[in-house]
Amino acid sequence: MIYEHAAHPSVPVLRENNKPAPFPPEQTHNQHRKHKHMSTTDIESNEYKKQFLHEATRLAIESVEKGWGGPFGAVIVRDGKIIGRGQNRVLLTGIPVFHAEVTAIMDACGRINSKALLGSDYYEGNLKMIPRPEGSPDPVPERAQMLKGCDLYVNGAPCPMCMSAIYWARIDRVYFGTRLSDTSKIGFDDEFQYIDFKLPWEERKAIKCFPDFEREFALKACEAWQNKKDRHPY
């Protein structure tokens, strides 16, 4: 086995005996030709969308069978086409945050952007600035578009970390198959995290939190951002 990188340099893609990597960048020619002749109504139908949840589930099963991670897979879709794929890669990498939704977001962003490392002065790809939606409580008038206009399909309900990543990615819609109670039965108990997050910092049960520790010193970082005239909100 040898390791290669996906579109984003931090997402490992495994090749086994020189077989194709599990994250193909585009649809097959037949799929693409079929998609060209479909209307927006067809693409928005639940019947059409099923294929994306099925692909996410396929990726999840592959992750289990290969020993790469837990039973979770995800795809990101824009305009009815897959632009990013992800699998749970925790056991492959030893990195606990490599969940399916996170690796799918990294894969999609890596394919959208023309280069891996961008910078706050880069205004192309998913860092292109767009105005805030009408009626939005967003305190800034415009932000980087990230994955605005995309949907994410994952076979299981997102954990709090992944749900937060989905928010940060500005993904429009999330479709998931199994419930938190379903994955809890097989040892993936994310539900308690949602419950814990509702408690004040000092009352969290899972992790001891110490808010306001050296707050005045830490505020210097906020000042640095606020004073940066060419800051790039995201």
Q: Where are the beta strands (DSSP E) in the chain?
A: 2-5, 12-15, 73-78, 81-87, 129-131, 142-144, 150-156, 173-178
Task: Calculate the CA dihedral of residues 209, 104, 101, 4 and round it to 10 degrees.
Answer: -70
Catalytic residue, chosen from 16, 26, 65, 101, is 101
Distance CA 97, CA 156 (A): 16
Tokens 């105005």 belong to which residue?
131
| CA 75, chain centre distance (Å) | 9
55 in catalytic set: no
Q: Look at residues 215, 213, 194, 214 and name the one whose alpha carbon lies nearest to residue 205.
A: 194
Return the SS3 of 54.
Answer: helix
The crossing angle, in degrees rounded to 10, of helices 100-112 and 160-169 is 20
Cα dihedral sign, 176-172-93-14: positive
**Distance in angstroms between the alpha carbons of the first and the last residue of the chain:** 38
Q: What amino acid positions are annotated as catalytic residues?
A: 101
